[in-house]
Structure 1
């Protein structure tokens, strides 16, 4: 008998205080969880001739576009996707709605806060240990597909 495993069964995050709430406390110092003294930044040289890879979704059934996609993922870790079929109006609405959400007062955003040991919601995500260094920023993480994994609050 095959066991059905939900995506949400495999992904979780420990609860941590919201960064916006921390920032509003007028702390005298940054909490140690957000300080990364072990990180040394390399000097980044910019080659102006390099451009972010552009992948044409309408051509992904061709070997050459698949190779471009593979190289973009391998060498860059990201790419710009064109001819994906999502209308510009939908993209702009998503950007506007996202900006409006993050402009809400903290109290209103907290209605969408992450539930402990669950990944979706507003706040920090991917926190796996009490000793883990954290990013100084909040996010909203949502599942799009499969629909069965979506939190009905969203």
Structure 2
């Protein structure tokens, strides 16, 4: 029973909405920013001559299991940024280059071919733009 509950919680990340891809939005004249893209409750970063703009968080996977502050950095990156750069992951450069080439080839496919792999509502897997609410 407890395992079933954990599995159910792990799958339920929240509701999601399918929204148009950025490539499709770019084909249409747009005057207004879609409301789902506006985050008015957050203060914009302030840059002065004394400070620099924030940079993308970097997470060291070798330190993640052994250093407490690296886990805290990962948590902050997920909560505040939604993404991060990973270093010391152990993945070979050749595999990363092959992966990059496959991604580029995928994005060169016609829209109709990519749409066959499109995400479905309330499913976070697949290609497309999900807006999690």
Could you tell me the TM-score, scaled by structure 1's length?
A: 0.56
Deviations 1:32-63 (A, max 9, x none): 3255373552223228xx9x656362x6665x
How many angstroms does 1:114 deviate by?
0.5
> Are residues 14 and 8 of structure 1, via their aligned partners in 2, closer, same or farther at CA, if it must alter by over 3 Å?
farther
User: Aligned partners of 2:19, 2:59: CA distance in 1, in Å?
Assistant: 37
| 2:97 matched residue in structure 1 | 92
Q: Which runs of 5+ in 1 are unaligned?
A: 129-154
The aligned length equals 120
SS in 1 for 2:16: coil
Greater mean deviation of Cα atoms: 71-80 or 101-110: 71-80
| CA RMSD in angstroms, aligned pairs only | 3.6
How many angstroms does 1:80 deviate by?
3.7
How many angstroms does 1:3 deviate by?
4.8
SS in 1 for 2:97: helix
SS in 2 for 1:122: coil
Could you tell me the TM-score, scaled by structure 2's length?
A: 0.62
Contact 2:59 2:85 (8 Å CA) reproduced:
yes
| 1:30 matched residue in structure 2 | 32
